[in-house]
Structure 1
Amino acid sequence: MGFLKTLLIILLVYFLLRIVWRLLAPRLFKYAVKKTEDRFKEAFERANPGYQSSQSRGNDLDRKSPGNQKKDSSEQLGEYIDFEEIE
C-alpha cells in the first residue's frame, strides 16, 4: 500500500508541476527575451555612442510634416533601366 501511495504522490506532483510550468513558462520566456534585448541595446549604445535610437528618430520624423519637406531634383535614387523580354 505504501508503494501505491508514493507512486500517486509522485504522479500528482508531476502533473501539478506541468500545469504550473505551462502557466509560468510564457512569462519567464518573455522576461528573458526582454532582459536580453535590453543588454544588447546597452552594448550597442556603448559601441556606437553617436547613434540615435529608432524611437527618438521616430519622434523627430513624426513632428515633420511631408508638405514641409523639399525634394531636390539633384537627389535621384538611381538610373532607370527598361528591360526587354527575350523569347
Structure 2
Amino acid sequence: MYLASFTGFIKTVLIIVLVYFGVKFLFKLFKPLILKYIMKKMGEKVGQSFQQGFRPPNYQNKQESNSEINSTPKNSRNKKKPVGEYIEYEEID
C-alpha cells in the first residue's frame, strides 16, 4: 500500500501548473498561425461561392430545369376556395 507524501503532492501540483502554463504559452505562440489558416480556408470557400454565382449546393443545370419549368403542375393553385363571410369589427371606446 502506498502512502501519500508531501513531496509527491508538491510534485504533482507543480507538474499540473507547468503543463497548464506550457499549453497556455504554446496556444499564444501558435494562435496567429491557426487563425491565418482558418481565414485562408474561409476565403477560399467564399471565393468558390462567388464564382458559382451564389447558387445553392443542389443547384441544377439549365437544361434540366427547363424541362421542369415547361411542364404543367398537377394541382392548380389558382382556384379560390370560399373561406367564409367577411365580418368587419368596430372599436369600442
TM-score when normalising by structure 1: 0.52
Match of 2:32 in 1: 26
Shift of residue 44, structure 1, vs aligned partner: 1.1
Match of 1:6 in 2: 12
Larger Rg: 2
Shift of residue 28, structure 1, vs aligned partner: 0.2
- 1:43 & 1:3 partners in 2: Cα distance? 56
Structure 1 residue 40 corresponds to structure 2 residue 46: yes
Question: Which one has a larger percent helix, Structure 1 or Structure 2?
Answer: 1
- 1:43 & 1:7 partners in 2: Cα distance? 51
Aligned amino acid, residue 25 of structure 1: K
Q: Which runs of 4+ in 1 moved over 4 A?
A: none
Shift of residue 19, structure 1, vs aligned partner: 1.1
1:42-57 correspondence runs (5 A)? 42-47=48-53
The runs of 5 or more residues in structure 2 that have no matched partner are 1-6, 55-93
Shift of residue 47, structure 1, vs aligned partner: 1.6
